[in-house]
Structure 1
Amino acid sequence: MSQDSENGLTVVVVEDNPLTCEFLVSCINAHPQLTVAASFATLASARQWFARHQSDLLLVDLGLPDGSGLTLMREVHARWPQCDMLVVSMFGDEVNVVASIEAGAVGYVHKDDEAADIAETLLAVKRGASPISPMIARHLLLRMRPTTPEPQPAAVSLSPREQEVLQHIARGLAYAEIARLQGVTVHTVQTHIKKLYGKLAVHSRSEAVFQANRLGLLNETLKR
Structure 2
Amino acid sequence: MLQAVAQAPVTVLLVEDDAVTRRMFSLAVQEEPSFQLQAALDSMQSALDWLEGQSPDILLVDLGLPDGSGIEVIRYCACHSPATHIMVITTSSDEDSVVASIEAGASGYLLKDVGRMDIVASIRELREGGSPISPTIARKLLAKMRDARPAQQEVDAPQDDKPQIALTKRESSILELIARGDTYVEVARQLSLSVGTVQTHIKNIYDKLSVHSRGEAVYEANRRGLLQMDRLKSR
Retained in 1: the 8 A contact 2:28–2:116? no
1:123 alignment partner in structure 2: 124
Alpha carbons of 1:27 and 1:115: their partners in 2 closer, same or farther (altered >3 Å)?
Answer: closer
Q: Deviations over 1:31-79 (max 9, x none)?
A: 1110100110011111101001111000000000000000011011000
Q: Give 4+ residue runs of structure 1 displaced > 6 Å after superposition.
A: none
1:45 alignment partner in structure 2: 46
1:63 alignment partner in structure 2: 64
2:86 alignment partner in structure 1: 85
Between Structure 1 and Structure 2, the one with more helix by share is 2
- 1:83 partner letter: T
Instruction: Provide TM-score, normalisation by structure 1.
Output: 0.61
Structure-2 separation of matches of 1:77 and 1:66: 20
How far 1:90 moved relative to its partner? Answer: 0.6
Range with bigger deviation, 116-125 or 53-62: 116-125
Structure-2 separation of matches of 1:147 and 1:14: 33
Structure-2 separation of matches of 1:74 and 1:64: 15
How far 1:116 moved relative to its partner? Answer: 6.0
- 1:43 partner letter: M
Structural mapping, 1:120-159, within 5 Å: 120-146=121-147
2:22 alignment partner in structure 1: 21
Alpha carbons of 1:100 and 1:130: their partners in 2 closer, same or farther (altered >3 Å)?
Answer: same
For these two proteins, the number of residue pairs brought into alignment is: 144
Classify the secondary structure of the residue corresponding to 2:107: strand
Retained in 1: the 8 A contact 2:43–2:67? yes
Alpha carbons of 1:126 and 1:68: their partners in 2 closer, same or farther (altered >3 Å)?
Answer: same
Identity of counterpart residues, as a percentage?
Answer: 40
Range with bigger deviation, 107-116 or 83-92: 107-116
- 2:35 partner letter: L
Alpha carbons of 1:30 and 1:93: their partners in 2 closer, same or farther (altered >3 Å)?
Answer: same
Retained in 1: the 8 A contact 2:61–2:89? yes
Instruction: Provide TM-score, normalisation by structure 2.
Output: 0.58
